[in-house]
Amino acid sequence: MNILFLGDVVGKSGREVIKKELPLLKTKLEIDTVIVNGENAAGGFGITPKICEEFFDNGVDIITTGNHVWDQNEIIPYITKKNQLLRPHNYPSSTPGSGFIKHIDALERSIIVLNVMGRLFMDPLNDPIETIENAIKDYNLGENIQAIIIDVHGEASSEKMAIAHAFDGRVSFVVGTHTHVPTLDAHIMEKGTAFQSDAGMCGDYNSVIGGEKNGWVARFKSKMPTGRINASKGEATLSGVLVSIDDKYGLADKIEPIIIGPLLINRMPMKTKN
**Set 68, 89, 178, 180: catalytic member:** 68
**Strand, coil or helix: what is 41?**
coil
Beta strands 147-153; 173-177: pairing state: parallel
State residue 219 phi and psi, 5-degree precision: -65, -45
Nearest to 67 by CA among 87, 96, 49, 42: 87
Residue 230: exposed, middle, or buried by beta-carbon count in 10 A (0-12, 13-18, 19+)?
Answer: middle
Active-site residue, 68 included: yes
Q: Alpha-carbon distance 261 to 267, whole Å?
A: 10
Residues 116 and 132 sit within 8 Å (Cβ to Cβ): yes
Length of the chain: 274
Query: Hey, which residues are catalytic here?
Result: 68
